[in-house]
């Protein structure tokens, strides 16, 4: 009974630390576990919390103390529907966000298509896709609702000669996605550097955009962009920091928060319980999504959703939080219909409007 009382005291102390109530539902989401050295720790909604925990009990008394830093290591607690951009009754397509997608290469045009379609399905009014000239017709034939721009390329991958065209298109956009399926060669880094230092809008960097700067993250500090969101999976985050994937897994919140502060960006560290962190030290953990989303193209869809919300006027942290939530919720809806085995990115993409609609109606 003393042990149980100590556990209850620890749960209550943790919820007070989180500024939550102690309703039975909240208490049921907190568990007290022990590591190999028998030291207690807190698990909240299935995620180990970055707090110190002390429990004492004697006869009829139990006492627990929870200490932590000021990071908001919490799941989303607001109604997400309140964050979704409102659309005026007399809105036209220019009011709903103009997105530029710089993506795709020979054999990887699907990445550009997924990012573009997800931006449209998340509410963007106009989406332009900039791809290598030889791949332009492929992309245009797959998404009739988009505008396409052909870029200078070598061996199916855009080259530095495309820089002017990209900047011209970026200046017309409210947000830009750079990276999905671009391929790997030095010119990609040079183009990204030009975009970071000459484009003053909102930028989402994903996939090959992240691979391009893995040995030189310092270029992020030279950005003139209003806001930058990066969306690495654990492997990409490990390459950016020059550490192992295991090191990332051991402190996902800390890694994301440190990188965000160091480089002045919003970080979306993908995976189970996706972590979103910004340069101010705010950290959120996404509760939606499932194992069926561990398949090719899901990151391209996510980058499109986040860019869409950026283009519709949300600030980078809100766009990333809402984007991760809606992306995961669409994945959950797709999994309910088809199961987690064989789920593909296109299934999730098609559920985005439903996920958004369901939050607005709550």
- Examine the domain organization and report whether 325 and 346 are in the same domain: yes
pLDDT computed for residue 166 by the predictor:
98
Q: State the average pLDDT for the chain.
A: 91
Residues 56 and 203 both lie in one domain: no
Q: Are 285 and 275 in contact (CB under 8 A)?
A: yes
Going by pLDDT thresholds of 50, 70 and 90, the confidence category of residue 254 is: very high
Give the structural domain span for 43: 2-68
322/316 Cα distance (integer angstroms): 10
* Of the candidates 300, 200, 247, the residue with the CA atom closest to the CA atom of residue 256: 247
User: How many structural domains does the chain have?
Assistant: 2
The top-scoring range by mean pLDDT among 45-54, 61-70, 254-263 is: 254-263
State the pairing for strand pair 227-230/147-151: unpaired
What are the b/e assignments for 178-191, b being 16+ CB within 10 Å?
bbbbbbebebbbeb
Please report which confidence band the pLDDT of residue 133 belongs to, taking 50, 70 and 90 as the band edges: very high
Return the structure tokens found at 152. 């200078």
Q: What three-state secondary structure class fits 188?
A: helix
Name 148's bridge partners: 129
- What local confidence, expressed as pLDDT, does residue 178 receive? 98
Of 14, 45, 68, the residue at which a domain comes to its end is 68
With contact defined as beta carbons under 8 Å apart, do 294 and 308 qualify?
Answer: no
Same-domain check for residues 40 and 107 = no
What dihedral angle (degrees, nearest 10) is formed by the CA atoms of 337, 339, 345, 349? 20
Q: Are residue 337 and residue 276 in the same domain, yes or no?
A: yes
**Predicted pLDDT of residue 60:** 81
Structure confidence by residue, pLDDT tens digits, 165-204: 999 999 999 999 999 999 999 999 999 999 999 999 999 9
Q: Tell me: do 61 and 99 sit in the same domain.
A: no
Rounded CA gap, 225 and 75, in Å?
28
47-48 vs 40-44, strand pairing mode = antiparallel
Name which of 18, 71, 9, 66 is nearest 41 in CA terms.
66
The per-residue pLDDT for 209 is 98
Asked which of 68, 101, 118 is the last residue of a domain, the reply is 68
Instruction: Report the pLDDT value the prediction gives residue 7, as an integer from 0 to 100.
Output: 84
Rounded to two decimals, what is the model's pTM?
0.81
Of residues 361 and 258, more confidence is placed in 258
* 8 in the same domain as 138: no
Q: What is the pLDDT of residue 5?
A: 85
Quick check: 73 pLDDT over 50? no
Structure confidence by residue, pLDDT tens digits, 52-66: 888 888 878 889 888
- Tokens representing 130? 């900039």
**pLDDT number for residue 21:** 52
Alpha-carbon span 284 to 188, nearest angstrom: 31
Average pLDDT over residues 208-218: 95
Q: Are strands 227-230 and 266-269 parallel, antiparallel or unpaired?
A: parallel
Per-residue confidence (pLDDT) for residue 10, from 0 to 100 = 84
């Amino acid at each position: 009974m003393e042990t149980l009382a100590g556990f209850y005291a620890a749960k209550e102390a943790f919820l007070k630390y989180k500024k939550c109530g102690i309703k039975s539902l909240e208490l049921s989401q907190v568990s007290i576990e022990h590591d190999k050295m028998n030291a207690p720790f807190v698990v909240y909604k299935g995620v180990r919390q970055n707090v110190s925990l002390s429990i004492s009990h004697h006869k009829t008394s139990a006492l627990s103390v929870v200490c932590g830093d000021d990071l908001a290591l919490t799941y989303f607690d607001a109604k997400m529907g309140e964050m979704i951009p409102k659309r005026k009754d007399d809105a036209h397509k220019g009011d709903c966000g103009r997105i530029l997608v710089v993506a795709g290469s020979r054999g990887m045009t699907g990445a550009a298509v997924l990012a573009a379609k997800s931006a449209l399905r998340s509410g963007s009014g106009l989406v332009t896709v900039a791809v290598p000239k030889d791949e332009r017709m492929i992309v245009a034939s797959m998404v009739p609702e988009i505008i396409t721009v052909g870029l200078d390329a070598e061996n199916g991958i855009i080259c530095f000669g495309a820089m002017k065209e990209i900047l011209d298109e970026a200046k017309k956009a409210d947000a830009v996605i750079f990276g999905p399926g671009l391929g790997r060669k030095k010119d990609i880094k040079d183009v990204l550097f030009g975009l970071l230092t000459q484009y003053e809008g909102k930028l989402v960097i994903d996939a090959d955009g992240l691979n391009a700067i893995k040995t030189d993250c310092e270029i992020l500090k030279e950005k003139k962009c209003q806001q930058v969101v990066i969306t690495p999976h654990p492997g990409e985050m490990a390459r950016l920091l020059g550490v192992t994937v295991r090191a990332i897994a051991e402190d996902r919140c800390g890694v994301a928060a440190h990188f965000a502060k160091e480089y002045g960006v919003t970080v979306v560290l993908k995976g189970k319980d996706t972590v979103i962190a910004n340069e101010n030290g705010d950290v959120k953990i996404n509760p939606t999504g499932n194992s069926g989303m561990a398949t090719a193209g899901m990151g391209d869809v996510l980058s499109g959703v986040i860019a869409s919300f950026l283009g519709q006027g949300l600030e980078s942290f809100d766009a990333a939080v809402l984007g991760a939530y809606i992306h995961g919720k669409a994945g959950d809806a797709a999994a309910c219909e088809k199961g987690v085995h064989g789920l593909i990115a296109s299934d999730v993409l098609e559920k985005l409007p439903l996920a958004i609609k369901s939050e607005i109606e709550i």
